[in-house]
Structure 1
Amino acid sequence: MHIILGGTGHIGSALAGLLSVRGEEVTIITRSADKARRWREKGVQASVADVHDTASLRSIFRRGRKLFLLNPPADPATDTDVEEQRSLDAIMEALEESGLEKVVAESTYGAQACEHCGDLGILHSMELRLAAKGIPFSILRGAYYMSNWDAALEMARDGGVVQSFYPADFALPMVAPRDIAKVAALRMTAPVGEQGTWHVEGPEPYTAGDVAAAFAHALDREVRVEVVPREQWQSTFRRAGFSQPAAESYAKMTALTLDQHYTVPGEPVRGQTTLKQYISDLVWKGQGS
């Protein structure tokens, strides 16, 4: 049995579908009874649990052999670093005496020891803590998610603008969530002894200018990039509903991504989904909703 923690997001839901098609038994953990019901209607087992309920998590973990671990993102209206660390603490505690044979965990490019820097720090901590658990594990370090541009659809469609915290010509490795799910499926079904760190990105790096061009093609209209100056990052996050601590954390994470050159050791695993394909699918889905 494969347990998927984070099974209702982009990556986890795609992973559940891929494993189910292969005939693998899957249990998705969600805190939403409605989402659990929808998965059960598709023939996939689902358990309702709060990620902070360590006893419930451990009970579900004990039903499976392998766990896909995606630390759930916190509501940006909260102090996201504090909340995501709290979730990670509960998950790490639930792993004790869980009987799991292997953990496949989703991390990120640029994960590093840093304070108040969002996923870069939280997921680096996760990697270190998994290594200390004694459970065989694999790490998937994903590049910048193409799905981070989902929120740009409405502004691109209605205003012809894509807002970016990065310069229009700044090239960044990006990856479609489904391509990460494909790698996760391979790691989940691999022998327990096959461990390591896999870096996953798309066919090539892309810029905000490429994002605008992809929206322009899919929407059949002119779309330009509007770059948010660094000194306005925090205020822009605040206007979007982020708490002050979350705005500071996301601004620092953005700065580290922009200012540091992250080198992938060896060759990354490359997904096949191009940015143009991803944006075209996004627009098509948006028009159908």
Structure 2
Amino acid sequence: MFVILGAAGKVGISTASALRAAKLPVRAVLRDAAKAGPLQAIGCDIAFADLRDTAALGVAIAGAEAVQIILPPPLGAEDARWEMRALTESMAEALAQARPKRVLAISDYGAHVPEDIGMPTVFRLFEERLRRLDMPKILLRSAEHMEGWARSIPAAIATGTLPSLHHPVERTFAVVSTGDVGCAAADLLYRPGADKAEQIVHVEGPRRYSASDVAVALGPLLGRTITAQAVPRSRWQEALEKTLSASTARLLVDLYDAHNKGGLIDVEPGGEVRYGTTGLVEALRPFVPA
């Protein structure tokens, strides 16, 4: 049995779908019963547990061959770092109790960097806590998700400009579709590295893109010319707080500061990399209004 925590998310459902396509048994762990339908449709067993409920997680994980875990950024948390540490501890304690044969954790590019760079630093602490577990671990570090750019599509339609916190807009960076992250995770869960106590794998798309490349890709999809436009650094916090708490927004401000410094939000030197096959246009097409 392969157990997927956060199975209703984009990465979780992609992992579950890839495992089920290989005829493997999957238990999808959800918080919201309303999201069970698509996972039931592909033949997953369903269990319900909140990530904060260690006892319920332990029951959901019991008997697993392998478990995939993901640490969701809390969109509205007053103290995002504290909230993510609490979720990390709850999942780690549940894993220690249930003792699956291995665990795969979805982590982040830049999690190897020792200095504080915001969101990747939270994932560095996530990895450090998991290293204390006495079981084989796969740390799958994901590049920035292509689908995240979908949030800017309404602004691009309305104004012809694509707002970007990546400066300069011509600098390329690693991105990956959530579907490719899920497929890589499924492969690693099913065929892990032999006898490795810890395996670190990075996953990104078939090529790197700049914000200007994203704008060019959106042009034909939206039927108009789109131009990338750098959002002034002084406006980042305010812009992010339109949809996030101040605490979560600050983690992303620090993340983009590190991005724009260059060389930090990247593959750990000498690290293993897997490349997905999904291009940016394919990843963004489902988010374009008819």
- Tell me the TM-score normalised to structure 1 length: 0.91
Supply the distance in 2 between the matched residues of 1:86 and 1:116 (Cα, whole angstroms): 20
Q: Does 1:8 align with 2:13?
A: no
Who is 1:269 aligned against? 274
Unaligned runs of 5+ in 1: none
Question: Any idea what SS the aligned residue of 1:27 has?
Answer: strand
Shift of 1:40: 2.3
Who is 2:186 aligned against? 185
Who is 1:279 aligned against? 284
CA distance change for structure 1 residues 205 and 37 in 2, over 3 Å: closer, same or farther? closer
Supply the distance in 1 between the matched residues of 2:282 and 2:38 (Cα, whole angstroms): 27
Who is 1:197 aligned against? 200
Who is 1:44 aligned against? 44
8 Å contact from structure 1 (residues 214, 280) kept in 2: no
Shift of 1:266: 4.7
> What is the 5 A alignment of 1:71-86?
71-76=71-76, 78-86=78-86
8 Å contact from structure 1 (residues 113, 125) kept in 2: no
Who is 1:250 aligned against? 252
Supply the distance in 2 between the matched residues of 1:249 and 1:87 (Cα, whole angstroms): 17
8 Å contact from structure 2 (residues 77, 83) kept in 1: no
Give CA deviations for 1:215-273 in whole Å, capped at 9, x if unaligned.
102112111112111121112112x1322222222211111122140353255211111
Identity %: 28
Who is 1:212 aligned against? 215
Supply the distance in 1 between the matched residues of 2:280 and 2:37 (Cα, whole angstroms): 33
Who is 1:232 aligned against? 235
8 Å contact from structure 1 (residues 110, 257) kept in 2: no
CA distance change for structure 1 residues 142 and 160 in 2, over 3 Å: closer, same or farther? same
Question: Any idea what SS the aligned residue of 2:97 has?
Answer: coil
Supply the distance in 2 between the matched residues of 1:114 and 1:57 (Cα, whole angstroms): 32
Q: CA RMSD in A?
A: 1.8
Count of paired positions? 283
8 Å contact from structure 2 (residues 73, 248) kept in 1: no
Give CA deviations for 1:27-55 in whole Å, capped at 9, x if unaligned.
11111011124422442111111110000
Shift of 1:99: 2.4
Give CA deviations for 1:87-115 in whole Å, capped at 9, x if unaligned.
11111111112120000111111113455
Unaligned runs of 5+ in 2: none
Question: Any idea what SS the aligned residue of 1:268 has?
Answer: strand
Question: Any idea what SS the aligned residue of 1:19 has?
Answer: helix
Who is 2:121 aligned against? 121
Supply the distance in 1 between the matched residues of 2:31 and 2:117 (Cα, whole angstroms): 26
Displaced runs of 4 or more, over 3 A = 112-116
Who is 1:171 aligned against? 172
Give CA deviations for 1:134-161 in whole Å, capped at 9, x if unaligned.
1101111111111111211222223322
8 Å contact from structure 1 (residues 37, 46) kept in 2: no
